[in-house]
Chains A and B, each alone.
Chain A
Amino acid sequence: AQSVTQLGSHVSVSEGALVLLRCNYSSSVPPYLFWYVQYPNQGLQLLLKYTSAATLVKGINGFEAEFKKSETSFHLTKPSAHMSDAAEYFCAVSEDTGGFKTIFGAGTRLFVKA
């Protein structure tokens, strides 16, 4: 069965600093992995996705994530944080086991300090 663990419910960085949001997954088959962002009072928006092509995935707004099978990780990074990056970030996993289901992590709230 698939599962997603996001380490750290809250992460705080200074503007211009590196952003690192951690995600580990469990899946019995090759997974599809996603990062979504949720701004206040809005729905979720796709940042990037991994679908077994390149292990380093580039997304919108300067974010990228690297799929590491040996570590079962899919951490999200951005070299330089901007105030507008403050939001809730969700890691998600989907797998094909004869039926569809996407599991979302608990979310990490990113705070960006001026």
Chain B
Amino acid sequence: SAVISQKPSRDICQRGTSLTIQCQVDSQVTMMFWYRQQPGQSLTLIATANQGSEATYESGFVIDKFPISRPNLTFSTLTVSNMSPEDSSIYLCSVSRGGQGLEEQYFGPGTRLTVT
């Protein structure tokens, strides 16, 4: 398994500002992911955070809006830029130990973001 922490756990932000969410894992992992979970809905993959290279974004998500860093195998950040109320959501970090990415994922507790 893996123990994952996220900071902050929640935040209330004004529109037009940016928020950076941190994800820390207790051991080195191959793959790290960022998801968005809107109220009452399932998870939507934003991007795969790649160590040492640019993140791989899913359709509908762009680097300018959701820049991601992954400086090493235990840490990643997701920034939500120029926020609007539509960005209000829970943002989840997850990791997978398998290099193929088919194995189970371990999730952080999430960051609950409210944009006013």
Contacts and interface: CB of A to CB of B under 8 A. Distances in A.
B110 A42 contact: yes
A5 to B, nearest CB: 11
Interface in A11-51: 32, 34, 36, 41-46, 49, 51
A106 interface: yes
B31 interface: yes
A58 B31 CA distance: 26
A49 B107 CA distance: 15
B22 to A, nearest CB: 15
Q: Which of A41, A49, A96 has the most CB of B within 10 A?
A: A41
B106 A106 contact: no
Size range of the chain B interface in the assembly: 20 to 34
Interface stretch (A61-69, A79-87, A97-105): A97-105
A94 B101 contact: yes
A111 interface: no
B109 A106 contact: no
A49 B105 CA distance: 11
Interface string B75-96: 0000000000000000010100
A102 B45 contact: yes
A74 interface: no
Contacts of B94: 43-44
A95 B102 CA distance: 7
Given A43-B94, A94-B101, A107-B41, 9 more contacts: A41-B109, A41-B110, A43-B107, A44-B105, A46-B104, A46-B106, A100-B31, A100-B101, A104-B43
Interface of B: 4, 31, 41-43, 45, 48, 92, 94, 100-110, 112
Interface of A: 32, 34, 36, 41-46, 49, 51, 90, 94-96, 100-102, 104-107
